[in-house]
Structure 1
């Protein structure tokens, strides 16, 4: 059965929260010393990891962490605790950094994000975005000029279900009007995005590398599954 639709994850797949000196350089630890580059990198990894828990939390916060992509209040509560436990010095700094996390305009698109969406649209392939997320990601697509290229946005906090629950993938297929066997799911998490395989979707996993280090993985993924031709050098 030929593929008629492609579903994409958001964080680490189409967009990435990149380090930015303008809002990370001023971070300090509890002693007032600046957080070094390694510590800053680890902070962003902890905030954007699709699955798992990178810090030990009290049960109250652990429960909020597990519910974070279903409830914006739980998302805020748990992530501020992650920042506190990770050594961010003041609540003001934690609040400012958290504000960047939930601002879709702070996220950087991968180099081939716009191109893969445009090429799929031109080829008549249906497009969906399926994201475990607690804030509206659509402004990021609007800023990139590709908002209307996506047929359906399924965000976990709106849908009340998170990947890898099969219901979310089946719901995406139903809304877009394809059988699961006609869809390809592209994401960065074997655990979360790989759950699409359980309902019959094809799956392709990309590495959530810094955007400068991953120029054409999305184009390569759709080409590998025969949805679009292989990308040319330098795409």
Structure 2
């Protein structure tokens, strides 16, 4: 794909990652007979449940399932869905609300080490950039907060456009806004199921591993190089 005119990026696990701080869990215990403290393993599992792009990890009532399936289309459903996950995971409601507030705070998200360099290099070469995300809150401030406000041409967010990956409609919206054909576009993301949906339109696709930022120094660079960029 050496004639790539545009690159579409997923957000969570691709350009940025939600990485917990121990202070987020200070004073929290799991609701159980032994009031078990939240250790590192529990923290990691809670964060996985908050960031996994597909699937579900707890029992859900019909109402909770409706919220979960549609969570990225409306902020109130997103909140309802994730508070249910956290409550079912054993957190008291006030602790669940505290942790959920971290999820939707743009300042909680950490860019991968090569995010800024990759976005800058693509812009330098005249390649258009869009962020295509299944999300129910405005993530633009996350880019503003690390000096990348002008690095992205278009933000195509599920709750704003009414379509969720892998629905081709969300990718088509990005293509239309950028004015580029699918055949000259590469989608980069951490979910073959969700982000890989761009292939249905004829886009190329590069899969990255949503490792902690400290363990993935050049994942974006490697993904783009593998596709001739």
Q: How many angstroms apart in 2 are the aligned matches of 1:203 and 1:99? A: 32
Q: How many angstroms apart in 2 are the aligned matches of 1:66 and 1:6? A: 27
C-alpha distance after superposition, 1:93-149 (max 9, x if no partner): 111000000111101111101110011111111100000000000001001111211
Which SS does the other structure have where 2:199 is aligned? Answer: helix
Instruction: Give the structure-1-normalised TM-score.
Output: 0.94
Q: How many angstroms apart in 1 are the aligned matches of 2:227 and 2:90? A: 43
User: CA RMSD of the aligned region, Å?
Assistant: 0.9
Q: Structure 1 runs of 4+ off > 6 angstroms?
A: none
Q: How many angstroms apart in 2 are the aligned matches of 1:114 and 1:26? A: 35
Higher RCO (CA < 8 A, seq sep 6+): 2
Residue 143 of structure 2 corresponds to: 141
Counting only pairs closer than 5 Å after superposition, residues 22-101 of structure 1 correspond to structure 2 as 22-31=23-32, 32-88=35-91, 90-101=92-103
Q: How far apart are 1:27 and its partner, in Å?
A: 2.1
Q: How many angstroms apart in 2 are the aligned matches of 1:174 and 1:43? A: 37
Q: How many angstroms apart in 2 are the aligned matches of 1:26 and 1:62? A: 30
Work out whether 1:118 is the aligned partner of 2:133.
no
Q: How many angstroms apart in 2 are the aligned matches of 1:117 and 1:206? A: 16
Counting only pairs closer than 5 Å after superposition, residues 223-234 of structure 1 correspond to structure 2 as 223-227=225-229
Ranges in structure 1 where 5+ consecutive residues have no aligned partner = 228-235
Work out whether 1:202 is the aligned partner of 2:195.
no
Work out whether 1:12 is the aligned partner of 2:31.
no
Which SS does the other structure have where 1:52 is aligned? Answer: coil
Count, aligned residues = 226
Which SS does the other structure have where 1:69 is aligned? Answer: helix
Q: How many angstroms apart in 1 are the aligned matches of 2:30 and 2:214? A: 29
Which SS does the other structure have where 2:145 is aligned? Answer: helix
Q: How far apart are 1:91 and its partner, in Å?
A: 1.2
